């Protein structure tokens, strides 16, 4: 039994935030119904590496869900959603403010049908203010929350983190919020509405270290260099590069021992951690010169012997082959009905010492429409009529084994 067995989630979304969040709930046992538009469904289905009409990005954010293909603008389509909502625990949507209300499926209406419903509305910037209706994608949020500024520290211009960082941070925040609301409901019996924006989630995530210099506001506060400038660097060896994070005095001693540069402690520029912080650029230059005297294979064991955190930066293939992931049982390979052989990363949390198996494969567009409508009591004739009218359609092509 998984932790969220018996919990039903209705997801109305495109792209990452609500999709990834709902998938994490599915991995933990929730029955997630992804409600998709009649025509193309979630556009994430078609972005990036693709096989069998499903992209790897979509599969990585949508496994374990049932796909319902329905026209929310049709009266009968809305009725289907109302019937589902009456038996649902969580609704997740990342549409712009007002969209779900305009469809007649907003939080107040659905919670009037089901007072135990937890309704999570995810927006880019919030429901009020000058940007509340602005379109939001990950690079926009990175630029507005300081991610690009942090990545660009010490460089000529801001830089993006080359990953959908704010989308995924928001998804984790959504999961934390809705599961907290489930806990509150256990105590009170009542659901609630949750508003959460990518902008707020991104800033909250980045703030502890990224905004240290914006935290203490009094004039007598001292501001040292950010941790990122002290710890995040690559040093070239004779045949590659490694990163070393020597954050404590003991680790600094271990580092200098490993590279045969204990003499640096006799240099007045580096006499103690405060002096090192004041002259960090010069200190890092001396470290880099010492590292350059070794091959990667020779240096890493010396650093490990001195208990200094260090690693060689791995490429994609090396990450997948890392022995620690094998020891942790972090990754598996499955056969998808349309996508063929594919790799999956398992949910990271262990419950009772056991790693959860990933949920079922990502669905084709509308794959479970007939199943869901049947569970609502619709007859075969009714389902055929809905499909003919364009209100609710099954998948155009059923999944087949490749």
Name the CATH superfamily housing domain 8-207+327-393.
Crotonobetainyl-coa:carnitine coa-transferase; domain 1 (3.40.50.10540)
Q: What is the rounded CA–CA span in Å between residue 298 and residue 253? A: 18
Average pLDDT over residues 368-381: 96
When pLDDT is averaged across residues 85-95 and rounded to a whole number, the result is: 97
> Confidence band (pLDDT; 50, 70, 90) for 325?
very high
Q: pLDDT tens-digit profile of 20-71?
A: 999 999 999 999 999 999 988 999 999 999 999 899 999 999 999 999 999 9
Please report the pLDDT score of residue 402 as a whole number.
Answer: 41
- CA dihedral sign of residues 220, 226, 231, 235: negative
φ/ψ of 138, rounded to 5, equals: -50, -45
If we measure between CA atoms, which residue out of 282, 91, 284, 258 comes closest to residue 191?
91
Convert the pLDDT of each residue in 235-291 to its tens digit. 899 998 899 888 788 888 899 999 999 998 888 888 777 787 788 788 888 989 999
Could you tell me the residue ranges of all domains in the chain?
A: 8-207+327-393, 235-312
- Residues 227-237, buried b or exposed e (16+ Cβ, 10 A)? eeebeeeebeb
pLDDT (0 to 100) of residue 185: 98
User: Among 151-155, 176-180, 290-294, 398-402, which is the least confidently predicted range?
Assistant: 398-402
Residue 247 has what pLDDT?
77
Q: pLDDT class for 138, splitting at 50, 70, 90?
A: very high
Mean pLDDT score of the chain, rounded to an integer?
91
Position 176 pLDDT exceeds 50: yes
- Distance between CA atoms of residues 171 and 62, nearest Å: 12
Burial class from Cβ neighbours inside 10 Å (0-12, 13-18, 19+) for residue 245 reads middle
pLDDT of residue 228: 63
For residue 230, give the nearest of 260, 273, 290, 293 by alpha carbon: 273
What's the whole-number mean pLDDT along residues 76-87? 97
Tell me whether the CATH fold assigned to 8-207+327-393 matches the one assigned to 235-312. Answer: no
Closest CA to 25 of 40, 37, 13: 13
Domain 235-312 fold: formyl-coa transferase, domain 3 (3.30.1540)
- Could you tell me the two tokens for 266? 């006799």
Q: What is the mean pLDDT of residues 75-102?
A: 96
How many angstroms separate the CA atoms of 388 and 321, rounded?
Answer: 49
CA separation for the pair 285, 237 (Å, rounded): 13
């Amino acid at each position: 039994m998984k932790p969220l067995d018996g919990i039903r989630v209705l997801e109305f979304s495109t792209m990452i935030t609500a999709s990834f969040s709902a998938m994490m709930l599915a991995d933990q046992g929730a029955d997630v119904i992804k409600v998709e538009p009649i025509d193309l469904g979630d556009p994430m289905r078609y972005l990036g590496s693709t096989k069998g009409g499903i992209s790897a990005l979509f599969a990585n954010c949508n496994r374990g869900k049932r796909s319902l293909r329905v026209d929310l603008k049709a009266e009968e389509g809305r009725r289907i959603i109302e019937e589902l909502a009456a038996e649902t625990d969580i609704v997740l949507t990342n549409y712009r403010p007002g969209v779900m209300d305009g469809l007649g499926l907003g939080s107040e209406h659905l919670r009037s049908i089901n007072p135990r419903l937890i309704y999570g509305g995810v927006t880019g910037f919030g429901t009020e203010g000058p940007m509340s209706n602005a379109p939001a994608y990950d690079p926009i949020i990175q630029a507005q929350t300081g991610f690009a500024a942090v990545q660009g520290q010490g460089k000529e211009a801001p830089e993006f983190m080359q990953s959908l960082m704010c989308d995924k941070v928001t998804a984790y925040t959504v999961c934390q919020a809705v599961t907290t609301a489930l806990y509150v409901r256990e105590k009170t019996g009542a659901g609630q509405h949750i508003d959460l924006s990518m902008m707020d989630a991104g800033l909250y995530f980045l703030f502890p270290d990224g905004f240290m210099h914006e935290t203490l506001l009094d004039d007598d506060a001292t501001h040292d260099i950010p941790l990122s400038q002290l710890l995040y660097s690559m040093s070239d060896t004779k045949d590659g590069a490694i990163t070393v994070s020597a954050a404590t005095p003991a680790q600094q001693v271990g580092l200098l021992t490993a590279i045969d540069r204990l003499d640096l402690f006799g240099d007045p520029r580096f006499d103690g951690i405060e002096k090192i912080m004041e002259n960090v650029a010069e200190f890092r230059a001396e470290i880099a010169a010492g590292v350059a005297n070794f091959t990667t294979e020779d240096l890493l064991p010396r650093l490990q012997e001195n208990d200094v955190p260090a690693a060689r930066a791995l490429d994609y293939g090396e990450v997948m082959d890392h022995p620690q992931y094998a020891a942790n049982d972090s990754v598996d390979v499955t056969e998808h009905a349309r996508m063929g052989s594919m790799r999956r990363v398992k949910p990271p949390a262990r419950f009772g010492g056991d790693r959860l198996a990933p949920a079922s494969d990502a669905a084709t567009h509308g794959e479970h429409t007939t199943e869901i409508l049947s569970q609502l009591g619709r007859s075969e004739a009714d389902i055929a009529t809905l499909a003919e009218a364009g209100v609710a359609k099954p998948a155009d092509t059923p999944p087949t084994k490749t």
